Amino acid sequence: MTRFLTLDALSLSTPDGNPLFRDLTLSLGRERVGLVGRNGCGKSTLLRAIIGDVTPASGNIHISGRVGMLQQSLDDALDLCGALGITEALACLARLEAGEGSVDDATDADWTLPARVEQALADTGLREMALDTPVATLSGGERMRLALARQLIEAPDLLLLDEPTNNLDTEGREAIATLMRTWPGGLLIASHDRALLEQVDRIVELSPIGITVFSGGWSEYAAARDAAREAAEADLARASDALKRTRKSAQQAKERQDRRDKAGRATRAKGDAPKMLLDKRQERAEATRGKGSALAARQMSESEDNLAAARARVEILAPITMDLPPCGLPSGRRLIEFRDVQMAFGTRHLFGPLDFTLTGPERVAITGPNGSGKSTLLRLVTGDLTPTAGTATRLTDNFALLDQHVSLLAPGETILENIHRLNPGLSANAAHAALARFGFRNDDALQVAGTLSGGEKLRAGLACVFARPEPPDLLILDEPTNHLDLRAIEALETGLNAWDGAILLVSHDPAFLKAARVTRDIHL
């Protein structure tokens, strides 16, 4: 099989020299390889190293063929033509068609380009969009589809994708899924999208304890990961038992030596044995005690090291927790009521008329294409916006909103400072207890919010809103999984499943919606 990429004992570090991972060896040909790991483990840095933007700490990167990378952001000053990188190529064709072309134009002309552009825009759901449309007017999902269209036009041998389904609606996700099925070259995808990862041929996991390659997609990876977690927990139990046995053995040896020493002192006290013999016995006893103490210390140190290593492995593999305190929401309590609600901005009609209610601990998803007004609907619920027509009523003030950036956190404050700012009457003990429920213990609470990963930010935000004396009975979530790694997504799902309050959320992640036990959806 043709190898487009070979990584040879590759190690990467952060700009300040902290290691991300070591000794990654991997070859990639015409196949689909998923890249997973916690936020901050080096997935994006690896992709940037492959395209030459990052210098490896050690090891080598060998590339055969052309490499492309799906852009994460587009220049607002461009139009579609510029974002696709085809402005000059189309201008060249236009000059030739007008009879004004030069010899260089005739040499450079690519007459297949218009058809390829049309097909790429159709494949990414942008067929109806004019090439002079400003990028600044596009939604996040439309921008991602435009970036994908550019790669379809350029058709590199190896395509790198960094969280490609973030901010994409159902149509955009299907475009990525189609790309996965039909791409003729190699794909290396850093993603937390489980539906996307189900389609890959292999998964490479970057972690603090090393690099592991799993054959198959998400299901095979999840099974192997869970088995590794169980094995690590079994190793921890064995190491804990071994340390107990070592301590017991050392104590028993000490007690036996103490008894022998006591007997020796009694013999010396009688005075019925030669002093030389007694001195020799004492010398042997002291030597034996010294050897025994050294052996016990060495065995104890080895057992403690083994236990520490086993515990560290379990802590790395074990799922993080998000423990949402119960709110005791009655099943018949009505929380939201929309009647004939319509929303428009100027001449642009977003949605409506819309009628819906949310009662008791329901889980309701707001769905629809990018730009249909999902986040706007949430702002109607919170009272930040007023509908163009109709009535939008929220019947509880005890709610909490977490957007995908967890903007309620002040980035320059520590987690502890944030929780006190948002809950002024909270005692120090109550603040630490609230943070501990979400995995922030001791010095973890002193981390500055702006330095946190996506999963850590979400946990910190939840800790802040659930630290109230009365937990919210309505939780509003806007694309909560966009910046989370797989571990954090699964922890959020577990926490939401165990909670007894109402949830109103926007998400394009079907696996998350299913795991969060959404009872119905409102499609805009």
- Backbone torsions φ then ψ of 448, nearest 5 degrees: -75, 135
Q: Is the pLDDT of residue 300 over 80?
A: no
> What is the number of domains present in the chain?
3
338 and 199 fall within a common domain = no
Give the chain's radius of gyration (CA, Å): 31
Q: What is the mean pLDDT of the chain?
A: 86
* 233/208 same-domain check: no
Long-range contacts of 150-153 (CB under 8 A, 24+ apart): 150/71, 150/83, 150/84, 150/85, 150/120, 151/68, 151/70, 152/116, 152/119, 152/120, 152/123, 152/124, 152/179, 153/84, 153/85, 153/86, 153/113, 153/116, 153/117, 153/120
d(CA 433, CA 452) in angstroms, rounded, equals 20
What are the backbone angles phi and psi of residue 222, rounded to the nearest 5°?
A: -60, -40
What is the distance between the alpha carbons of residues 93 and 322, in angstroms, rounded to a whole number?
Answer: 58
Residues 6 or more apart from 180 whose CB is under 8 A from it?
A: 32, 187, 189, 196, 199, 200
Q: Which of 164, 195, 216 is the last residue before a domain boundary?
A: 216
418-428, pLDDT tens digit by residue? 999 999 989 99
Contacts of residue 523, defined as CB under 8 A and 6 or more positions apart, other chains included, come to 367, 368
Q: Which domain holds residue 260?
A: 227-317
Q: What is the mean pLDDT of residues 218-242?
A: 78
Task: Give the lowest-confidence range in 39-43, 147-151, 192-196, 459-463.
Answer: 39-43
Residue 123 lies in a domain: yes
CATH number for the domain including 459? 3.40.50.300
Digit-coded pLDDT (tens) for 34-75: 999 887 788 989 999 999 999 999 999 999 989 999 887 788
Same domain, 165 and 239: no
In a domain, residue 328? The reply is no
Tokens describing residue 411: 């980035």
20-24, 168-172, 257-261 — which one is most confidently predicted on average? 20-24
Residues 354 and 377 in one domain: yes
The answer on 362 and 262 residing in a single domain is: no
Higher pLDDT, 408 or 123: 408
Report pLDDT for 226: 77
DSSP state, 474? E
d(CA 370, CA 375): 10
**Could you tell me the pLDDT band of residue 265, with boundaries at 50, 70 and 90?**
low
pLDDT at site 276: 65
Residue 324 domain flag: no
Q: Which residue has the higher pLDDT, 327 or 124?
A: 327
Cα–Cα dist 246/180, whole Å:
54
Q: How far apart are CA 190 and CA 161, in angstroms?
A: 6
* pLDDT value for 37: 87
Could you tell me if 273 and 133 lie in one domain?
A: no
**Separation of alpha carbons 135 and 67, rounded Å:** 24
Q: In Å, how far are 74, 84, 115 from 130, measured between CA atoms?
A: 17, 12, 15
Domain identity same for 351 and 457: yes
Are 492 and 392 contained in the same domain? yes
* 131-146: average pLDDT: 84
Strands (E), 306-394: 334-345, 348-359, 363-367, 389-394
pTM to 2 decimal places: 0.71
233 and 151, same domain (yes or no): no
**326-341 mean pLDDT:** 94
- At 315, the pLDDT band (50, 70, 90 cuts) reads low
pLDDT at res. 269: 64
Looking at the domain assignment, is residue 438 inside a domain?
yes
Identify whether the C-beta of residue 37 lies closer than 8 Å to the C-beta of residue 205. Answer: yes
CA distance 4 to 62: 8
Amino acid at 396: T
- Among 317, 352, 387, give the residue marking a domain's end: 317
Higher per-residue pLDDT: 296 or 406: 406
Q: Which one-letter DSSP state was computed for residue 72?
A: S
Higher pLDDT, 225 or 148: 148
Q: What is the pLDDT of residues 159-203, one digit of tens each?
A: 999 888 877 777 778 878 888 888 889 999 999 899 899 999 999
